[in-house]
C-alpha cells in the first residue's frame, strides 16, 4: 500500500524542479548585459508609440469564449463521429443531449444580446 503512494509523493517533490531548473540554469549561465535598448517594449518588430496599454471591449472576450466552447464541443464530438457506426443508442443520445445543451446556451446568449456587435 505504501509503495503506491511513494510514486505520488516522488512526483509532487520532483514536479517543481523540472520547470524551475531551466530558469535557474539560464539565470546562472546566461549572459547578463542589460541596457536601455534591451529593456524597451518590443512588439512585432515595431517600436511602440504612445501608451502601450490599450483597453479592449469585453465583447472580444465573449466571442473568444464562445469560440472556445464550440471548439471543445468539436473535440468532444469527434470521437462520436469517428465511431458512430459502432456506438449504442445511449452514446448517440448522450451526444445529442450534449449538442442540445450547448445550443440552448448559445440561444440564451443570443437572446440576451451578448453576441451583438456594437
Residue closest to 105 by CA, chosen among 76, 64, 70: 70
Domain ranges, ordered by start, for the chain: 2-47, 58-111
Three-state SS string over 2-67 comes to HHHHHHHHHHHHHCCHHHHHHHHHHHHHCCCCCCCCCCCCEECCEECCCCCCCCCCHHHHHHHHHH
Q: Which residue has the higher pLDDT, 54 or 81?
A: 81
d(CA 7, CA 30): 34
Residue in the structure block whose three cell numbers are 529593456: 39
Band (pLDDT 50/70/90 cuts) for residue 29 is: very high
pLDDT at 17: 95
Mean pLDDT of the chain: 84
Share of the chain above pLDDT 90, in %: 23
Band (pLDDT 50/70/90 cuts) for residue 86 is: confident
CATH no. of 58-111: 1.20.58.1610
Band (pLDDT 50/70/90 cuts) for residue 118 is: low
pTM strictly above 0.85: no
Amino acid at each position: 500500500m505504501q509503495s503506491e503512494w511513494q510514486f505520488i509523493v516522488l512526483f509532487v517533490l520532483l514536479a517543481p524542479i523540472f520547470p524551475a531548473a531551466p530558469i535557474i540554469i539560464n539565470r546562472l549561465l546566461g549572459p547578463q548585459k542589460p541596457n536601455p535598448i534591451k529593456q524597451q517594449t518590443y512588439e512585432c518588430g515595431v517600436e511602440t508609440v504612445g501608451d502601450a496599454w490599450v483597453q479592449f471591449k469585453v465583447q472580444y472576450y465573449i466571442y473568444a469564449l464562445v469560440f472556445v466552447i464550440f471548439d471543445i464541443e468539436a473535440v468532444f464530438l469527434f470521437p462520436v463521429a469517428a465511431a458512430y457506426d459502432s456506438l449504442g443508442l445511449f452514446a448517440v443520445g448522450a451526444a445529442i443531449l450534449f449538442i442540445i445543451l450547448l445550443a440552448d446556451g448559445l440561444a440564451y446568449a443570443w437572446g440576451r444580446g451578448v453576441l451583438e456587435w456594437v
